Amino acid sequence: MSKKILVTGGAGFLGSHLCEYLLNQGNEVVCLDNYFTGQKRNIVHLLNNPFFEVIRHDVTMPFFIEVDEIYNLACPASPIHYQYNAIKTVKTSVMGAINMLGLAKRIKAKILQASTSEVYGDPQIHPQTEDYWGHVNPIGIRACYDEGKRCAETLFVNYHDQNDVRTKIVRIFNTYGPRMHPNDGRVVSNFIMQALQNQPITVYGNGEQSRSFCYVDDLIRGLVSMMNTDDSITGPINIGSPNEFTILELAEKVIHYTGSSSKIIFKEIPMDDPLQRQPDITLAKKVLNWEPKIVLDEGLLKTIEFFKQNYTS
C-alpha cells in the first residue's frame, strides 16, 4: 500500500537515493532539507514526479506535516562539514531528533533514525556489535557529531519508552556511491576526485587504519527493511559492509580502477581518527534478512563512473 513518507536530509547523498527508492516503490515522498550539504542536483531528476515534494526547512525548527513514516537523515556526515559549525551539528542531531520525535508522537508516525558507527568512537572491540557502548572522546573534534548522534539515540529510546512512539535506530557504517559530494572530504570521494585529476592521493597517517565500505544501494535496502519491521523491533541495528579494507588498500584500488597516474602521499592523521571499523551484522542478517551484495570493486567502478560523468570535462 502506498504510504506518505517524510525524509529529512532528503537532498543529501543517502537521502536522495532513499527518496528515489521510496518513490519507485509507489509511495508519496516529502523531502525536507536546508541544503547545508545537500544539493538540488541530487533530486532534480525526481522533481517531475507528482508524488514528490521538496520543502526547504531546518530540522532545528519545529515542523508539522501528516505522514505515515519519517526517516530522519538530516545531519552533515563528513568530518569537514560537521566540524565546520560544531554547535550547529549538535543542534541538528539533538533538536532535530526532538522536533521529529515530537512530530512522530503527535501524528503517530513510525520514525527511523540514521545513527552512525561513530557512536562506537575509536572502538576497543572488533568487529563492533550493537551491545558495545563505544569509546568516544566527548571533547574531541569529532564529538559534536558522535555525541550528538548518541544523544539522538537516547531521545529515540526515551520517546519510545515514555511516549510509545514507534521508533527504529539504524547505525550506518561508511557508505559510498554516486552523489557523494565531491568536496566533502570523505575518503572515497576524495580519492576518486584526486585520481581522476591525476593529483596526489592524500592518505592520512600510515594508511593502516581500516574502514568497511558499503555501497549505497545495499544500504538503502537495509534502511527500508528496518522501517518495515514490526513495532517490537526498535534497534539499534548495524547496517554496513563487514568487508574491511585499509585506507592504503582503498587508495590502490582507486588508482587501479581509474587508471590514474596519481601517486600516494601521506599526511598527518586527524585527531581521534578511529583506527579500525567493521560492523558485526549478525543482527541485521537475523532480523532483517539483510546483507550487502555489492562488493567494493563493483561499487567503486559505479562510483568512479558517476564522478567521471559529473565532474570531469
| Beta pairing class for 52-56 and 110-116 | unpaired
Is residue 145 annotated as a catalytic residue, yes or no? yes
> Least distance from C-beta 122 to ligand UDP, angstroms?
10
Could you tell me if 160 and 154 are in contact, meaning their C-beta atoms sit under 8 angstroms apart?
A: no
| Residue 212 near ligand NAD by CB under 6 A | no
Residue 123 contacts which entry, ligand NAD, ligand UDP, none (Cβ below 5-8 A, type-dependent): none
For residue 14, the partner it binds in ligand UDP, ligand NAD, none, with Cβ less than 5 to 8 A by kind, is: ligand NAD
- Candidate segments 12-20, 190-198, 231-239, 276-284, binder of ligand NAD by CB under 6 A: 12-20
- Of 215, 180, 217, nearest to 311 (Cα)? 180
Measured between alpha carbons, how far is residue 83 from residues 86, 123, 145 in Å? 5, 21, 8
Distance from C-alpha of 33 to C-alpha of 25, rounded to nearest angstrom: 22
- Cβ nearer to ligand UDP, comparing 51 with 132: 132
Number of residues counted as binding ligand NAD (CB under 6 A): 29
Q: Which of 61, 62, 15, 58 is nearest to 38 (CA)?
A: 15
3-state helix, strand, coil in the chain (%, to 5): 40, 20, 40
172 binding ligand NAD? (CB under 6 A): yes
C-beta of 51 vs 306, nearer to ligand UDP: 306
- From 145, 159, 176, 215, the catalytic residue: 145
Interface with ligand NAD (CB under 6 A), residue from 5, 6, 7, 13: 13
Binding track, positions 66-105, relative to ligand NAD; x by CB under 6 A: -------xxxxx--------------x---x---------
User: 179-208 mask for ligand NAD (x: CB under 6 A)?
Assistant: --x---------------------------
Element (H, E) at 158: helix 143-163
Report the alpha-carbon distance of residue 14 to residue 275 in Å, rounded.
Answer: 24
Binding partner at 33 among ligand UDP, ligand NAD, none, C-beta below 5 to 8 Å by kind: ligand NAD
Q: Strand, coil or helix: what is 244?
A: strand
Q: Which residues bind ligand UDP (CB under 6 A)?
A: 78-79, 174, 186-187, 190, 202-204, 209, 211, 247, 269-270, 273
Q: Quick check: 9 binds ligand NAD (CB under 6 A)?
A: yes
Question: Which CB atom, from 38 or from 292, has the smaller least distance to ligand NAD?
Answer: 38
Q: Which stretch binds ligand NAD (CB under 6 A): 10-18, 195-203, 261-269, 288-296?
A: 10-18
Of 99-138, binders to ligand NAD (CB under 6 A) are: 114, 116
Q: How far is the CB of 181 from ligand NAD (least distance, A)?
A: 6
Q: Which residues bind ligand NAD (CB under 6 A)?
A: 8-9, 11-15, 33-38, 58-60, 73-77, 92, 96, 114, 116, 172, 174-175, 181
Report the catalytic residues. 145
